[in-house]
Amino acid sequence: MRTTLLTRVEVAGQLVDVRLRRDRIVNLEPRLAAEESDEVVDGGEAALLPGLHDHHLHLLALAAARASVDCRDGLTALAAAPGDGWVRGVGLPWSPDRHDLDAVQARRPVRVQHRSGALWVLNSAALAAVDHVLDDSLDVERDPSGAPTGRLWRYDDRLRPALPETALDLGALGRELAAFGITSVTDATPGLEGFEGQDLLPQRVWFLGRRKLLLRDHDLPSFDELCATIAERHGAGEPVAVHCVTRESLLLTLAALDEVGRLPGDRIEHAAVVPPGVTERLRGLRVVTQPGFLADRGDDYRARVHPDDLPHLYPFGSLLAAGVDVAASSDAPYGPLDPWAVIAAARDRRTGSGVVLGEAERVAARVALAGYLTDEHGGPRRVRPGEPADLVLLSTTLDEALAVPRHEVVRAVWCSGVRSGGPAGTALT
């Protein structure tokens, strides 16, 4: 039986040796003698941590985004898309219509996703191809003549049957996650309980599935409807995870939870705006937030978010001070996947132009990292015998890594005891 012996690694501030067997940590001592079956890795006195857990992302959307045209800088890239079939774009920071897409690519069917993930925009060729799945709801925006403008809101499930099947490179996605030190994730896609090819990912995967309640901010449910939905989930013994990106959706959710009652494990996803006086009402819930948006979109928020809300975007420090359980995550592909960039954003809260949003909400890098070191339920994880061999070996001490958080500090990763990569060109001895 092949085992792995990690020597001279920093665990909780102490230099130790750690042995892995199959998918578990079996020994942790100041000094362990090498066995014949050991693959010996010299840690060089660098930190060994539990592998990072991203508590909120969307795996299939992330894999699809990696194979899509990047439209963050505009639509012109669509014209040069390779192939001759459908063109898929992502990352739009604004909302064009079908005529805007036609102007750059009229021959091929094109669909482009807004960076929020809530909106698809289709050109005329694409609208013609999916006409049979367009319904009469307000989710299909139409002009005064009744013709679709190309904008489809929260239409993924209804649109999918009309689209060609595409193969996703889940193996490449798994390697990308591992290179960041991520060994497990929670997929927050509503209703998704698993998918074909999931075993191609070395990471452990949990799904929010039917627990996820996606509140549509332009069409919120009534108070009674939300109470009934939460009560149904709770009645089945399932905690809920409620999508809240506006103060209205958050206040509605808290009122419904106050009415129905709370279940251990209930979560608030995003909590993008927490107005004054509401923080304490979140105590007893878990908040999964995305400070990475402040670095990625902060200047856009400054231009379009109401000034009263700006200091309260993606709060962190005030929630912790109020005793609320908080963990950072990515919301990838809609937010930055790199956990080290998210940790830096939680600490600095600086926009791309350097403006600080909500200085009082800053937290230490070590505090932001701590959320990534919890399990899917929010419990702490440790490097100790009996624990899963989901580990990340850094190239420096933890103090040095957190002084300037960056993903290049990841030296190697083990998922269930199996080496799952690290930065290209890294050699271990």
Kindly report, residue by residue over 245-266, the tens digit of the pLDDT.
999 999 999 999 999 999 999 9
Contact 338, 282 (CB under 8 A): no
For residue 122, what pLDDT is reported?
Answer: 97
pLDDT 10s digits, 315-324: 999 999 999 9
Q: Tell me the mean pLDDT in the region 172-187.
A: 97
Q: Is the pLDDT of residue 298 over 70?
A: yes
- 228 band by pLDDT with thresholds 50, 70 and 90: very high
Lowest mean pLDDT among 167-171, 194-198, 202-206, 423-427: 423-427
Q: Is the pLDDT of residue 407 over 80?
A: yes
Q: Can you give the residue ranges of every domain in the chain?
A: 1-51+382-429, 68-162, 208-380
Could you tell me which CATH class the domain 208-380 is placed in? alpha beta
Please state which of the four CATH numbers 2.30.40.10, 3.40.47.10, 2.130.10.10, 3.30.530.20 is assigned to the domain occupying 1-51+382-429. 2.30.40.10
Tell me which residue of 161, 211, 200, 166 sits closest to 55, measured CA to CA.
Answer: 211
Q: Tell me the mean pLDDT in the region 169-194.
A: 96
Q: Is the pLDDT of residue 83 over 90?
A: no
Q: Is the pLDDT of residue 425 over 60?
A: no
Q: Which two tokens stand for residue 315?
A: 């709060």
Look over the chain and give the mean of its residue pLDDT values, rounded to a whole number: 94
d(CA 40, CA 282) in angstroms, rounded, equals 47
pTM of the prediction?
A: 0.93
Q: Is the pLDDT of residue 428 over 80?
A: no
Cα 317 to chain centroid distance, Å, stands at: 20
Domain 68-162 has CATH 3.10.310.70: yes
Q: Tell me the mean pLDDT in the region 217-237.
A: 95
